[in-house]
Amino acid sequence: MTLAHARHGLICKMNLTLEFPRSPKEQMAGLVHLPRMADKARAARDNTLGEYIYPCPLDEIMLKFMGVDSDTFQHRAGDDMEEALAAWVATQCRHRSQEEIIAVNETLLNRQPDNPEKWKKFYEIRDRLDPTRKEITTWVDLIDLEEGRS
């Protein structure tokens, strides 16, 4: 199966050496980045993560917000169809207010490098991909540029 199958609610084998995970801007259960994290968790389970990292720093923010560890999420992402995974995530976040959900989404979407060394790496990657895209200053936008969505 391919990534397209994941979008139709099926569990799929993810091979991130052949295809990109979904955009961090895509949502599941009202949370950005969650579909991408599920794709990476499935690929990690299948040993097809390639150069991707699970859990990466953005994943860690989402895992902490949900109150679960990366192994638990990986197990659920691997065993549950998309709708069941979304329902499980909603249950994990039932104690969270809409304001908290908005805040974590904004945190993920607006996250930037947090030190000069990371900014240097960020600019090197961005400028290698497209030196004209100076408006790209967040990790999420850089990911979408690198994966051809921006």
What's the mean per-residue pLDDT of the chain? 92
Residue 5: the pLDDT is 42
* Contact present, 22 and 35 (Cβ < 8 Å): yes
Residue type, 87: A
Percentage of the chain surpassing pLDDT 90?
87
Comparing 12 with 116, the larger pLDDT belongs to: 116
Q: Would you place residue 150 in the very low, low, confident or very high pLDDT band (cuts 50, 70, 90)?
A: confident
Residue 11: the pLDDT is 54
* Contact present, 5 and 14 (Cβ < 8 Å): no
| Residue 149 pLDDT exceeds 50 | yes
Beta bridge partners of 31: 28
Comparing 4 with 13, the larger pLDDT belongs to: 13
